[in-house]
Structure 1
Amino acid sequence: MTQIIEGGAVSQLKALIKAIGYNKNVDIEFATVLSPLPDIRIKIDNMPVELDADDVVVCEHLRDHKREVAINGGEIVEMTVMSPIKAGDRVAIAMYADNQGYLVLDRI
């Protein structure tokens, strides 16, 4: 049976994650990036404190990182992928270890 989740896209995503991926040891929350990497600051919705770079772990695909690529089947070269995170971006955060650890999962 299909269940319709009410609300906008963000609230629907949050409800879906909680419904199918709920783990009592991990909570998924939404947040706003106040300043980008490397000195990232984040404000989680409905929390009074701001998190800084010492408080969060950011997934590799959101940080500057290097990749080996071949363009059009050509020679393999190393490419630097720059962080896509900017101030004002909305992100999904996993809170773990009784809300003492924070992992930035992705932009939303």
Structure 2
Amino acid sequence: MALETIDGGGVSKLRDVIRQLGYNKDLDIEFGTVIAPLPDIRVKLDNANFELEREDLVILERLKGYTRTLKINGVEAVVEYPPVLEAGDRVALQMFNAGQDYVILDRLGGEGDVA
């Protein structure tokens, strides 16, 4: 299946690709806004009248913050990556377990990426 060329921001492009590929009952992509940051994160979905709380969410390591030990030319250094999700951030989420849980796929960036 060939996809047609899509104009617009990243979110618009993602939405249009999903429309072109068709609905998949096992995969629902939602968009929302972070209401409260980690560790007690809350996310308000665009098309729902409720907020997701920490126990409803799976958050990828790179969004939560982490540390890594690197070795450069034989010298070890610890690099800390801080959490990147802040209140007001727009996020893309994938629903699973029949809407009981969501994984935050990524933070959306740029003014043109409004769902």
1:18 positional shift? 5.0
Q: TM-score, normalised by structure 2?
A: 0.78
Distance 1:40 1:91 in 2: 12
1:18–1:81 CA distance, 2 compared to 1 (3 A): farther
- Residues 19, 77 of structure 1: alpha-carbon distance in 2 compared, 3 angstrom cutoff: farther
Structure 2: runs of 5+ lacking an equivalent: 109-115
1:26·1:97 contact (CA, 8 Å) conserved in 2? no
Shift of 1:74: 4.9
Give 1:53 shift.
0.8
Alignment RMSD (CA, Å): 2.2
For 2:62, what is the secondary structure of its paired residue? helix
Q: Which amino acid is 1:53 matched to?
A: R
- When normalised by structure 1's length, the TM-score is 0.83
TM-superposed CA distance for 1:15, in Å, is: 2.1
Percent identity over the alignment is: 44
- The number of residues matched between the two structures is 107
Structure 2 letter corresponding to 1:11: S
**Closer, same or farther in 2 for the Cα pair 1:84/1:21, shift >3 Å?**
farther
Counterpart residue identity of residue 98, structure 1: A
- Gaps (5+ residues) in structure 1? none
